[in-house]
Amino acid sequence: MYVIALASQKGGSGKTTLAGHLAIAAERTMSGAVALVDSDPQGSLSDWWNARQANTPLFARCRMAQLATDLERMRAAGVALVLVDTPPAILETVVEVIRHADLVLVPVQPSPHDLRAAAATVEFVERLAKPFIFVLNGATPRARITAEAALALSQRGALAPVVVHHRTGFAASMIDGRTVMEIADNGGAEEITELWDYINLRFRREFRLVLPDRCADDRHAMRPVTSV
């Protein structure tokens, strides 16, 4: 089982939306179960999952004081991937989640405030010696500031080559517990799918972690479960 943390010290970076969308994208390519954890007291990811009609991805209620135990319980239950949404301001929680993560995604909107917040987040990630990827999120197509932000981030660390643009479909789909991949959408679904493909590739090639996919031998496929 592998753990991906979505972290940013700035609110509004799109962590929750990315967590839900990437979970659905991962489910479509992986043979094992995918679970979500909401460590943000605001509970936006929890609200999205509660509004969802489908019983996957799984949702795990964890307490930070026993996160290691809860993650081990999920591992024993056959979960293959866990995505953890983190709060923007509760540093102790963010650090604890990063401590248990195999990879940290740092969503960044193209603005000076987001770039500064991303730098602060990465300091903690590097202190814990965790690999990370910047994700340029909520970008305006063909805007100069998007290109400038991409250049700045690429000089600081790994940057996903897929830019997630600002689209009303992301927010509209989340209202009733869905994602852009589950509605008659535009290019948003393609962006999320390509982003997940890139993350999956990074796991396989650079971090030498192998996420089980649907092309694997059926003997290794896990039956979906509805709760953890």
C-alpha 166/C-alpha 30 separation (Å) is: 27
Tell me, yes or no, whether 212 lies in a domain: no
For residue 213, the model assigns a pLDDT of 63
For residue 105, the model assigns a pLDDT of 97
For residue 193, the model assigns a pLDDT of 94
Distances (CA, A) of 208 to 3, 127, 204: 14, 21, 5
Tell me, yes or no, whether 113 lies in a domain: yes
* Element spanning 3, H or E: strand 2-6
Tell me, yes or no, whether 216 lies in a domain: no
Summarised one tens digit per residue, pLDDT across range 166-212 is 998 998 999 999 999 998 766 899 999 999 999 998 887 766 655 66
Q: How many CA atoms lie less than 13 Å away from 5 in the CB half-sphere?
A: 29
**Structural domains in the chain (count):** 1
For residue 163, the model assigns a pLDDT of 96
Tell me, yes or no, whether 220 lies in a domain: no
Tell me, yes or no, whether 226 lies in a domain: no
Please answer whether residues 192 and 21 qualify as being in contact, where contact means their C-beta atoms are separated by less than 8 angstroms: yes
Tell me, yes or no, whether 228 lies in a domain: no
Tell me, yes or no, whether 197 lies in a domain: yes
β-pair partners for 132: 104
Query: 89 is in which domain, residue-wise?
Result: 2-207
For residue 16, the model assigns a pLDDT of 95
The closest alpha carbon to 90, from 43, 138, 157, belongs to 43
Distances (CA, A) of 7 to 4, 46, 88, 118, 121: 10, 17, 7, 9, 7
For residue 33, the model assigns a pLDDT of 95
Summarised one tens digit per residue, pLDDT across range 136-146 is 999 998 899 99
The CATH number covering residue 30 comes to 3.40.50.300
> pLDDT under 70 in the chain at which residues?
185-186, 206-228
Beta strands in 111-163 (DSSP E): 132-139
